[in-house]
């Protein structure tokens, strides 16, 4: 609809016509009508309502809908053109460890969970980190072995994660982290989503659009749609403006240069007068 059509509504508005009993020629189809260029100005505004549709414009919209044909302001799509499956893209956990980084050590030392460690374990961990010879370790297994080799107590999983949170960084050159079953662990901080059009196979899309950029990534196949059980959550969106966008070429460079030259002359003339 045209902007400024409704009282106290400054945003773009849309009229939806929904039916579960479509005629055959509309089955599986969606018609979009762009009437944003229509509308006459009101003599007196009512708040942010400044436009209205006259009878001829209303009849034009009804005619466009009834004809259900393609035109400059009427477009026909398949319902699947607006549907997608949102897949979750995981990337492997790769961590490097810098046990002597002063800022990271201070961050660990000030962590409330670290402060609460009992029986002097906190100080023992800091000492163990200082005793590690390497400035940077590219393997979680190696780092854990060197750390625990200097601590009398056995670190729990949560305690090690606490240390790791502060001492490690994601590093594409680091060793891949795996769980106890040998399966790659995902880095939650690098988790992303891709919207795959419904009319495309998710694996073909992934191989073409994702793998060339992040070859170690994979699809989380546990994220499935509750209705059809397939990988990826089904969703729909109608990017209305994208379908009616009309490219306006920029002015010729010569014309812009001539205008700039004229403005420069005017400015210089004003400066001389000053």
CA torsion sign for 114, 120, 123, 126 is negative
Q: Are residues 99 and 65 in the same domain?
A: no
The tokens for 14 are 């849309």
Instruction: Look at residue 254 and tell me if it is in a domain.
Output: no
Instruction: Report DSSP letters for 11-37, one per residue.
Output: S--------SS--GGGTTEEEEE--TT
Distance, in Å, from the CA atom of 100 to the CA atom of 135, rounded to the nearest integer, reads 6
Q: Tens digit of pLDDT for each residue in 85-101?
A: 999 999 999 999 999 99
Instruction: Look at residue 183 and tell me if it is in a domain.
Output: no
Instruction: Report DSSP letters for 252-267, one per residue.
Output: PHHHHHHHHHHHHHHH
- Of 155, 170, 185, which marks where a domain is finished? 170
Q: Are residues 99 and 166 in the same domain?
A: yes
Distance, in Å, from the CA atom of 190 to the CA atom of 220, rounded to the nearest integer, reads 13
Q: Are residues 100 and 162 in the same domain?
A: yes
pLDDT of residue 9: 77
pLDDT for residue 182 is more than 80: yes
Residue 8, SS3 per DSSP: coil
Distance, in Å, from the CA atom of 21 to the CA atom of 158, rounded to the nearest integer, reads 57
What H or E segment, with its residue span, contains residue 58? helix 55-67
Distance, in Å, from the CA atom of 192 to the CA atom of 198, rounded to the nearest integer, reads 19
DSSP letter, residue 200: S
- Of 129, 150, 170, which marks where a domain is finished? 170
Return the number of other C-beta atoms located less than 10 Å from residue 213's C-beta. 7
What backbone torsions phi and psi does residue 133 show, to the nearest 5 degrees? -70, -40
Distance, in Å, from the CA atom of 128 to the CA atom of 152, rounded to the nearest integer, reads 10
Instruction: Look at residue 221 and tell me if it is in a domain.
Output: no
Instruction: Look at residue 191 and tell me if it is in a domain.
Output: no
Instruction: Look at residue 11 and tell me if it is in a domain.
Output: no
pLDDT for residue 247 is more than 90: no
Share of the chain above pLDDT 90, in %: 66
- Of 154, 170, 186, which marks where a domain is finished? 170
pLDDT band at 217 (very low <50, low <70, confident <90, very high): very high
pLDDT band at 11 (very low <50, low <70, confident <90, very high): confident
Instruction: Report DSSP letters for 164-210, one per residue.
Output: HHHHEEE-TTSPBPB-TTSPBPB-GGG-EEEEEETTS-HHHHHHHHT
Q: Are residues 109 and 147 in the same domain?
A: yes
pLDDT band at 219 (very low <50, low <70, confident <90, very high): very high
Q: Are residues 102 and 138 in the same domain?
A: yes
pLDDT of residue 4: 85
pLDDT for residue 63 is more than 90: yes
53 near 2, Cβ under 8 Å? Answer: yes
Q: Domain span at residue 117?
A: 95-170
Give 132's contacts (C-beta < 8 A, 6+ positions apart): 99, 100, 143, 146, 147, 150
The model scores a pTM over 0.85 = no
Instruction: Look at residue 61 and tell me if it is in a domain.
Output: yes
Q: Are residues 110 and 162 in the same domain?
A: yes
Q: Are residues 101 and 166 in the same domain?
A: yes
Instruction: Look at residue 110 and tell me if it is in a domain.
Output: yes
Report the domain count for the chain: 2
Q: Are residues 110 and 144 in the same domain?
A: yes
Instruction: Look at residue 31 and tell me if it is in a domain.
Output: yes
Q: Tens digit of pLDDT for each residue in 125-159?
A: 999 999 999 999 999 999 999 998 888 888 899 99
What mean pLDDT is predicted for residues 175-200? 92
DSSP letter, residue 251: P
């Amino acid at each position: 609809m045209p902007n400024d059509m409704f009282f106290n509504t400054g945003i773009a508005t849309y009229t939806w016509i929904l039916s579960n009993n479509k005629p055959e020629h509309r089955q599986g189809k969606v018609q979009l009508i762009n009437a944003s260029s229509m509308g006459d100005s009101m003599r007196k505004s009512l708040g942010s309502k400044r436009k209205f549709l006259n009878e001829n414009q209303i009849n034009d919209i009804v005619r466009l809908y009834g004809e259900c044909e393609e035109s400059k302001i009427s477009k026909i799509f398949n319902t699947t053109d607006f549907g997608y499956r949102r897949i979750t893209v995981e990337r492997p956990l790769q961590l490097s460890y810098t046990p002597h980084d002063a800022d990271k050590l201070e961050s660990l030392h000030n962590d409330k969970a670290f402060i609460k460690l009992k029986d002097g374990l906190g100080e023992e961990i800091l000492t163990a980190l200082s005793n590690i010879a390497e400035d940077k370790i590219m393997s979680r297994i190696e780092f854990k072995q060197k750390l625990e080799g200097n601590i009398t107590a056995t670190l729990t999983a949560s305690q090690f994660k606490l240390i790791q949170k502060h001492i490690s960084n994601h590093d594409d050159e680091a060793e891949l982290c795996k769980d106890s079953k040998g399966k790659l662990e995902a880095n939650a901080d690098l988790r992303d989503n891709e919207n795959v059009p419904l009319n495309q196979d998710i694996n073909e899309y992934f191989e073409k659009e994702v793998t060339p950029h992040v070859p170690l990534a994979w699809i989380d196949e546990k994220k499935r749609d509750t209705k059809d059980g397939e990988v990826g959550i089904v969703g729909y969106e109608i990017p209305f403006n994208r379908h009616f966008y009309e490219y306006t070429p920029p002015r010729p460079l010569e014309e812009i240069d001539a205008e700039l030259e004229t403005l420069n002359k005017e400015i210089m003339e004003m400066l001389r007068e000053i």
